[in-house]
Amino acid sequence: MGYSLPVPAKQNEGTQRPDRDGQYRYLNDEATRCVEHGEPVISVDTKKKLIGSHANGGREWQPAGDPQRVNVHDFKGATLGEFAKAISYGVYDVGNDEGWVVVGDSVDTAEFAVESIRRWWNTLGRIRFPDATRLLITADAGGSNG
Q: How crowded is residue 52: how many other Cβ atoms within 10 Å of its Cβ? A: 16
The whole-number pLDDT of residue 98 equals: 95
Residues of the chain with pLDDT under 70: 14, 48-60, 62, 68-85, 106-108, 142-146
pTM above 0.85, yes or no: no
Number of domains in the chain: 1
Residue span of the structural domain in which 102 resides = 42-56+72-145
Per the domain annotation, does 119 fall within a domain?
A: yes
Per the domain annotation, does 84 fall within a domain?
A: yes
Angstrom distance (rounded) from CA 51 to CA 135: 33
Strand partners, 104: 87
Per the domain annotation, does 29 fall within a domain?
A: no
In angstroms and rounded to an integer, the radius of gyration of the C-alpha atoms of the chain is: 20
